[in-house]
Amino acid sequence: HLSTLLYFSAQLDMTKLAVERVAGALAPIVYVWSLPFLATTGFAHLCDGWPKCYGTGPSISSFICTPQATGGLAATYFYPCLHMWLNAQEVNSRWSRWTLVGFQLFFGMFLLCPVTKRRMLHLFCVNNFCLMGLCHYASVISRCARRRFLRCLVMLLCGCASYILLFVLAVVAVLDPTWIHEHMPYCFFLAEAIGLSSMAVFPMLWFVEHPQVDDSCVFSFPLNSTERRDPEEPATYALHTLF
pLDDT digits (tens, 9 = 90+) for 93-142: 889 999 999 999 999 999 999 988 888 999 999 999 999 999 999 999 98
What domain count does the chain have?
A: 1
Residue 68 located in a structural domain: yes
Residue 213 located in a structural domain: no
Residue 61 located in a structural domain: yes
State which residues of the chain have pLDDT below 70.
Answer: 1-14, 209-243
| pLDDT value at residue 234 | 42
Residue 142 located in a structural domain: yes
For 144-180, the DSSP string reads B-HHHHHHHHHHHHHHHHHHHHHHHHHHHHHH-TTHH
Residue 184 located in a structural domain: yes
Residue 79 located in a structural domain: yes
| pLDDT value at residue 231 | 36
Closest CA to 144 of 228, 53, 233, 225: 233
Write down the H helix ranges in the chain. 2-33, 35-41, 60-63, 67-76, 78-91, 94-112, 119-140, 146-175, 179-183, 187-205
Residue 117 located in a structural domain: yes
Residue 224 located in a structural domain: no
| pLDDT value at residue 24 | 85
| pLDDT value at residue 63 | 94
- Range of the structural domain that residue 105 is part of: 7-45+55-205
| pLDDT value at residue 12 | 58
Encode 138-172: b = buried (16+ Cβ within 10 Å), e = exposed.
Answer: bbbbebbbbbbbeebbebbebbbebbebbeebbeb
| pLDDT value at residue 68 | 95
| pLDDT value at residue 228 | 37
| pTM (two decimals) | 0.78
Contacts of 87 (CB under 8 A, 6+ apart): 140, 203, 206, 208
Cα angle, residue 129 at apex, residues 182 and 175 outer, rounded to 5°: 30
Q: Residue 165 and residue 50: Cα distance in Å, rounded?
A: 22
